[in-house]
A and B are shown apart, each in its own frame.
Chain A
Amino acid sequence: MQVSIEDKSTVKKVIHIEISEKQVSKELNDAYKELKKTVDIKGFRKGKAPRKVLEARFSKDVHADITPRLIQNAFVDVVEEHKLDLAGAPRIEPPELVPGQAYAFDAEVEVRPEIEDVDFKGLDLKKTMYEVSEDEIDSQIQMVRKSLATKETVTEERPVAKDDFVLIDYQGFVDGQPFDKTPLVENYVMAIGGTVMHEEFSAKLTGALPGQKLEIEIAYGEDATDKELAGHTITYKVELKEIQEEVLPPEDDTLAEKLGEFENLEAVKAVIRDNLEQGYAQRIKHELSEQVFSALLEKNEFEVPDVLVDAELEGIVKEAKDAYTQNNVNLEDVGLGEDFLRTQYRHVAEKQAKRHLLLAKIIEQESLELTEEELEKGFEEMAVGMKATADAVKNFFNMQKDQLQYFKHNLLEKKAADIIIESGNITEITPEEAQAAQDAEAAKAVEAAAAAQEAVGEDAAGEDTEAVTETPADDTTA
């Protein structure tokens, strides 16, 4: 077997392999021998058909059978011999096999880039010290109150005011005749200033007294959202029956009772504070790891194999798809075709791929390993996330060993990220400072974008600068 490897780039290689004629014929002989035993040909007893007859009839099948085997064996040998760290599957276009000739083919492979030892110690990191303020807790409490609000009829005689609710009957008429698309609706509770009904309703009803009868004329334009009403001028006869007020439950221990499972208001607040704190803790960690990776990626430049980027991209697209299908929205319908997503998120995918490669390198460099306890903890965390027991999670992974491998690697990546952060040079800053820094950065980005747009300017009309700014939910390493 003759092998030569050609470097296209640091991550792309083309392997030329030539399998000797001897090896090819040996494979062929074996295959025909095997075939002869089993095949049934008219005029011949089983196992008695001559090679020539077999060749005439089955050469295509035999070759199709043998080629991948030859390629596979040769390729695996080459990979082992040259210690290639493959990323993804090779691209091979197998030529026809000609008996009596050596078999030569090219394999295009991508390898993981060789990353030099990463110096991750002493990175300058800024840690934003977010703190949960009383205000935030209070606003959460207000939201809870709002969600538990009840509507009560207003007994005093007063006109309808903003934020009231009204109980009305209404029916729409066109040219004095009942209109069948707007039948009589009774006892409808409507929010003044709400968006469900036409805004004219809110405007006209404000200031009305209970028991009052009104006529509200609305001319729907041709472009009205409700196609059945579009283009009609409808006169609604409305009777205001009652005014209702939203009453928020008082902010005391009874509120806790209403929520169930809480003893008093303090307990509710404690839980809210806990949640907020957790959220901030995650945010701090996320921000730190973002900083770590942008710093590391700047320091260590390397190429990423396309296959890895594609794999990341696949994940991103799938995630987006799932998120949208959950809301019963088809991606194409909102103008986000798969191709569009692919081009938009390519740089994100590339960054993620780089991040994985870097982490893998660091894991290797520091020879990190998972202890039993850490694995156990990982299972538990996962169990909490999936609302299952740790044992169930463990069982799942015991059944699926390759998933376990993946999971372990994931935990290792987390560990590596933690180590980097720990060994970094952390400066603590207040949220205000962080905000200021962010603003400065954003201003810079805007400037850069403007400059870029100017540069593209005349011919392209800057169509592409309108990039999607949101990033997809980050992967697990963050």
Chain B
Amino acid sequence: MIKDYDIIRRPLNTEKTTLQKELFNQVSFEVDRQANRMEIKDAVERIFNTKVQTVRTIQMKGKVKRRGKVLGKRRDWKKAIVRLMPGQRIDFFEGV
């Protein structure tokens, strides 16, 4: 199980994800950068005890932040948009 939580870093809860949830029954997570779609699917199914239809992933580029002259960059990360089987749902507000 420890591996599952290593893959799924945290749920994302924003205006956009709220919309996706309402319209397409999709939930989003920040996930490990090395994880592939299959691993993510298995992890989500096990952790939340649900059925997953599809998983789409995006490599997110960290924002470039500047402080005076110094340029800095936030870390890159991977986002997974998980589409649940119809009728399935996840409530994960408590972990936010």
Contact = CB atoms under 8 A, between A and B. Distances in A.
Interface of A: 42-45, 48, 50, 52-53, 56-57
Contact of B14 (A44, A52, A56, A57): A44
Nearest to A50: B18
A56 B15 contact: no
B52 interface: no
A56 B91 CA distance: 10
Nearest to A45: B15
A65 to B, nearest CB: 20
A43 B93 contact: no
Interface of B: 12-15, 17-18, 93-94, 96
B81 to A, nearest CB: 15
A57 B96 CA distance: 9
B93 A52 contact: yes
Contacts of B15: 43-45, 48
A58 to B, nearest CB: 12
A30 to B, nearest CB: 22
18 contacts: A42-B14, A43-B12, A43-B13, A43-B14, A43-B15, A43-B17, A44-B15, A45-B15, A48-B15, A50-B18, A52-B93, A53-B13, A53-B18, A53-B93, A56-B93, A56-B94, A57-B93, A57-B96
Contacts of A43: 12-15, 17
A42 B10 CA distance: 14
Given A43-B17, A56-B96, 15 more contacts: A42-B14, A43-B13, A43-B14, A44-B15, A45-B15, A48-B15, A50-B18, A52-B93, A53-B13, A53-B18, A53-B93, A56-B93, A56-B94, A57-B93, A57-B96
B52 to A, nearest CB: 22
A57 B95 CA distance: 11
Contacts of A57: 93, 96
Contacts of B96: 56-57
A42 B13 CA distance: 8
Nearest to A43: B14
A142 to B, nearest CB: 88
Nearest to B22: A50
Contacts of B14: 42-44
Closest 7 CB pairs between A and B? A43-B14, A56-B93, A44-B15, A48-B15, A43-B13, A50-B18, A44-B14
B48 to A, nearest CB: 17
Nearest to B13: A43
Contacts of B94: 56
B40 to A, nearest CB: 21
